[in-house]
Structure 1
């Protein structure tokens, strides 16, 4: 339990891990003679002094307790197997909330910090599907898509995990205080950073590797040509995780990143949460297979799609212009009523 003390006083991860691999407990380390520390662990005088300092830490432990922050290490049974297998697993995870969520089925969801209504509508449907099928979402608590997936999962009584780029004594960003409190009660907030560590710029890509590595896969919902969500996608691919992307309007700056991932075969195209459940053969609740209510224009298009049709063919049948049809087809895909086929064709699901 006390291994984190070595990190607090500044001991290198490699030195801490060496001790953790050799000894069962931190208390066992404190009992070792100086010559054993030098011979068996290859510690120097500075390391031995750090061990002494770590044993004197009292206020820090008290501060953790006052804030209801718990700590697990790489060797604890609660530590997630997914993170053990990434290239740079954190030695320690600080958390607040329900740690058992780390053992459940998990999918990360990230995207633009300036999402559109299109992205928000998709998130609403995705959260409903995941909540009803007991899938835990992972995201980074940032503005835009991240906070939207947290909110929608909470609204649907689902389970969500927020991974922070700073110590858990800081709410970042501060305007998400309401969600912070609710996630602690109903979900889980974790960080590899000890209390007192601010959200330095360099912490964000390191945090993203945890988002990309903790789940079975990562969903990218709207992304510009560059951004943190694309970094998360690449990190996930490097760790052998699946990446999924929501396609969007080719003229929208918010869909460039997703469309490029799909075009370059870096991500699988999805239009709803059921696509992911089917990919992993996770059981789908029967009520999820029911369709959403559609408006009159959507119904006109839907009724035409008994066979695969292109947008040009739909223009002739419906008298709608191309732009309107793209919008209607996107809505029908989000409602799980229409699927996109090869060759730019669309067909209704039933």
Structure 2
């Protein structure tokens, strides 16, 4: 992108009370970020939905000078920068009207044609939540998804660590500039994350850390991925805000159920009860709902001779072998099992090399 236009986009990002969606509306009307600053306030006020409050700070301070200072910092500290107009800007985030005008990143991030899942939840995660999150990431590992989270305590860092363990790309969305890290105790994971993934933020290095930034940061977590999973959440919390944002983007939302008496499951249970999220009991539920294709096992006939199938898996295998390819719902009906349980069994059988998925949610023996 032209450096002058980038500087003016950053300058718009620095205008208080303006917001990304309003800034984009102004740019669409006058043609460029540079033109926004050159336009008279009276002409901008004629744009539908633009009020005096949003424009009152546009010409009061030297936002361009501040942008030049920040860009100088970025260039000296090997930080990548892209605007919502650039081809390298995350594709899914481009479809979010309030996506950042300018996005800053560090690491080795590759989101092109990737399966992307955001995992969020409470900072006060329980042993149940940790175990579920770790197991789910392990089950998803063969599909090589990108795991997005917020690098905070609890569920966030559990998801990042699980991704690192299984060599998956993982990205932390930060609520501050790339000149610092919060919480500091997580700094020890930065190197591993930047090797295969990294960090995104739309906050400048010159901005002071503010806990209110977490809520603004959540739109990036929701916007980057095709689905958001809430592992654990109390009745109120930032992860529920992320779920609401994901729903507003028409993205899939999943939640892990818990006991009715568990405080840290109240938010998830409510999401499911209010039909704002799909219930998730295993990775198979996510794979099925998102129609993710499970990589086929190599066609090695000799290997099948030594497969160890459970009695239930053997029953499914025999039916597919005798009756030919079948849809998931038909398999569940014939085996007299819930669909979600059948989906999990089929995933295990695929990973064992016993069956393979076909277009249209069909399965057949190998």
Alpha-carbon distance change, 7 to 122 in structure 1, aligned in 2, over 3 angstroms:
same
1:18 to 21, 26, 35: 26
CA distance in structure 1 between the aligned counterparts of 2:132 and 2:266, rounded to whole angstroms: 17
Q: What runs of 5+ residues in structure 1 fail to find an aligned partner?
A: 288-301, 308-338
The question of whether the paired residues in 2 share the 8 Å contact of 1:130 and 1:158 is answered with no
Query: Alpha-carbon deviations, 1:203-251, whole Å to 9, x = none?
Result: 1211112212221111110111221111211221122111111122233
Q: What runs of 5+ residues in structure 2 fail to find an aligned partner?
A: 1-5, 46-54, 298-309, 316-335, 347-366
Matched, 1:118 2:128: yes
- 1:144-293 aligned within 5 A: 144-285=154-295
The CA deviation at 1:94 is 0.9
The question of whether the paired residues in 2 share the 8 Å contact of 1:18 and 1:41 is answered with no
The question of whether the paired residues in 2 share the 8 Å contact of 1:141 and 1:163 is answered with yes
User: What's 1:3 paired with?
Assistant: 8
Query: Alpha-carbon deviations, 1:247-269, whole Å to 9, x = none?
Result: 22233222222122222222111
- 1:35-54 aligned within 5 A: 37-38=39-40, 54=64
CA distance in structure 2 between the aligned counterparts of 1:150 and 1:227, rounded to whole angstroms: 20
Question: What TM-score, normalized to structure 2?
Answer: 0.69
Instruction: Point out the more displaced range, 149-158 or 219-228.
Output: 219-228
CA distance in structure 1 between the aligned counterparts of 2:233 and 2:134, rounded to whole angstroms: 17
The CA deviation at 1:80 is 2.2
Instruction: Point out the more displaced range, 41-50 or 162-171.
Output: 41-50
CA RMSD of aligned residues (A): 3.6
Alpha-carbon distance change, 274 to 346 in structure 1, aligned in 2, over 3 angstroms:
closer
Alpha-carbon distance change, 155 to 184 in structure 1, aligned in 2, over 3 angstroms:
same
CA distance in structure 1 between the aligned counterparts of 2:14 and 2:248, rounded to whole angstroms: 32
Alpha-carbon distance change, 46 to 143 in structure 1, aligned in 2, over 3 angstroms:
closer
Alpha-carbon distance change, 83 to 140 in structure 1, aligned in 2, over 3 angstroms:
same
The question of whether the paired residues in 2 share the 8 Å contact of 1:305 and 1:346 is answered with no
The question of whether the paired residues in 2 share the 8 Å contact of 1:101 and 1:188 is answered with no
Question: What TM-score, normalized to structure 1?
Answer: 0.72
